[in-house]
Amino acid sequence: MSVDDPRARAIDGVLAALLRGDHDAAATAIDITELPDRARYHGVSGLILESALLPRILDKGAIERLRRHALGSAVWEMRHRQIVAPILDQFAAAGIWHVLLKGSALAYDLYAEPSQRPRGDTDVLMSLDRVDDARRILQDNGFVRFADRFDPQDVALSRQETWIRTADDGTEHGIDLHWAIMKDWTLAEVISSDDVRATARPLARFSANAMAISRPLAMIHACVHRYFHVRGAYFVGGDAHYGGDRLIWLYDVLLLGRQLTDDEWQEVVAKARAADVADIVAETLDLTQASLGLGLPPEMATFVLAERAQAGFARRHLVEAGYFKHYLSELRAIEGNDRKLRFIWSIIFPPEQFARRMYPTMARWPAFAVQVRLLLRDIGKAVGIVR
């Protein structure tokens, strides 16, 4: 079911009503047979299972499908923590500074059960000068680096990389190493690593050596991150999707908003305006309020009204700029002509391993042919033929 399908939108409305406890709105007469699948797409199966209304609107088979989704998340969560927590301990023992970002940080900071915040990996921000040490620890623990568009040795250009370990039970567990909180060079100053480092807080619920990004910065990050997926794919059940509409991302914002103090809200406003992302933050808060019933302080309601219709630089870069203009903006933001040339080369001819990952059916083709195929796809994106 496509996200643009009217039936999908109607079921999404029921899911949102369940999440905000609006039983009258959730008790709809529409066909909600596919609600478990939409709940899985939105990442909220475990959350809506708590609703007392479910037995009145779903049959036992549909509820059982939700339970299976939630149970799968719980089993994965337990195994994921068993795998990742020792990595953080080894980072700490080696003196590698690190902070958890996004899903894992929020799961263990805000959710009653971390498994209610499904995800596929743990994002770890660290110092650029310790990347090689972190890589050795991951390799020693059975992780394999996932092929990326940039040469893995060119850490000054790539900004992040993904490592995967397949557990004995067959589940996959990823660690995304970041040495910049934002992947795009153009948005490098939206949240600085120095700011993260100065305000990081312990996350003992995950691990004795885990640290989390501060809640005000997490709020800004959560709002901006939605927009990255308008252009960049995310995967649910192996299928690629685009857009920032997932309810679990709005639920993150809801839980963060419930925890922020008045001073922290003002920090969000000040930093969002300074980084030219106030419009993105305001739009996300407005959407969360409309969908999930986020209660905003009066001064934040004023902020939303003032900023939501604006079009800041980050929104233009992530949403409104075409494919070519987006990469041109990236090229301008990269420092040094040598690094700019390497960036261009990686866009035109990325590493063979990355090209082959994108086109596994071309396994017997020469590397050059696979790279040209990927280049043709990128040209198609630039002229608007393909997404």
**pLDDT, tens digit, for every residue of 297-337?**
999 999 999 898 888 888 787 777 777 788 888 888 888 89
CB 4 within 8 A of CB 34: no
Q: What are phi and psi of 126, to 5 degrees?
A: -145, 180
122 lies in the same domain as 241: yes
CB 9 within 8 A of CB 35: no
65 lies in the same domain as 174: no
pLDDT at 387 over 60: no
Q: Is 75 inside any structural domain?
A: yes
Listed in sequence order, the residues at least 6 apart from 129 whose beta carbon sits closer than 8 Å to its beta carbon are none
pTM: 0.90
Q: Is 113 inside any structural domain?
A: yes
CB 219 within 8 A of CB 277: no
Sign of the torsion formed by the C-alpha atoms of 227, 196, 172 and 361:
positive
| Confidence category of residue 176, pLDDT binned at 50, 70, 90 | very high
pLDDT in tens, 89-100: 999 999 999 999
167 lies in the same domain as 311: yes
Q: What are phi and psi of 299, to 5 degrees?
A: -70, -30
- Output the pLDDT for position 191: 92
248 lies in the same domain as 362: no
- Output the pLDDT for position 318: 78
Listed in sequence order, the residues at least 6 apart from 263 whose beta carbon sits closer than 8 Å to its beta carbon are none
Above pLDDT 90, what percent of the chain?
56
- Output the pLDDT for position 201: 95
Q: Is 137 inside any structural domain?
A: yes
145 lies in the same domain as 225: yes
168 lies in the same domain as 226: yes
170 lies in the same domain as 272: yes
Task: Measure CA of the first residue to CA of the last residue in the chain; give whole Å.
Answer: 19
pLDDT at 2 over 60: no
- Output the pLDDT for position 386: 57
pLDDT at 104 over 80: yes
145 lies in the same domain as 166: yes
pLDDT at 287 over 90: yes
Domain-ending residue, one of 32, 50, 70 = 70
Q: How far is residue 124 from each of residues 84, 160, 172, measured CA to CA in Å?
A: 10, 9, 17
252 lies in the same domain as 130: yes
- Output the pLDDT for position 316: 82
Q: Is 207 inside any structural domain?
A: yes
| Confidence category of residue 383, pLDDT binned at 50, 70, 90 | low
Mean pLDDT for 146-153 is 74
pLDDT at 71 over 70: yes
Q: What are phi and psi of 202, to 5 degrees?
A: -60, 145
pLDDT in tens, 9-68: 889 999 999 999 887 777 776 678 889 999 999 999 999 998 888 888 888 998 999 999
CB 43 within 8 A of CB 16: no
- Output the pLDDT for position 7: 84
| Confidence category of residue 106, pLDDT binned at 50, 70, 90 | very high
- Output the pLDDT for position 1: 53
217 lies in the same domain as 358: no
Q: Is 112 inside any structural domain?
A: yes
Q: Is 328 inside any structural domain?
A: no
C-alpha 21/C-alpha 338 separation (Å) is: 55
- Least confident residue range of 29-38, 76-85, 244-253: 29-38
- Output the pLDDT for position 384: 61
CB 181 within 8 A of CB 196: yes
pLDDT in tens, 113-126: 999 999 999 999 99
Domain-ending residue, one of 49, 70, 91 = 70
pLDDT in tens, 221-233: 999 998 888 766 6
- Output the pLDDT for position 189: 85
29 lies in the same domain as 75: no
Burial class (CB in 10 A: 0-12, 13-18, 19+), 343: buried
Number of domains in the chain: 3
Q: What is the DSSP string of 26-56?
A: HS-SS--TTHHHHHHHHT-HHHHTT-TTHHH
Residue ranges making up the domain that contains 370: 349-387
87 lies in the same domain as 174: yes
Q: Is 337 inside any structural domain?
A: no
Average pLDDT, the chain: 88
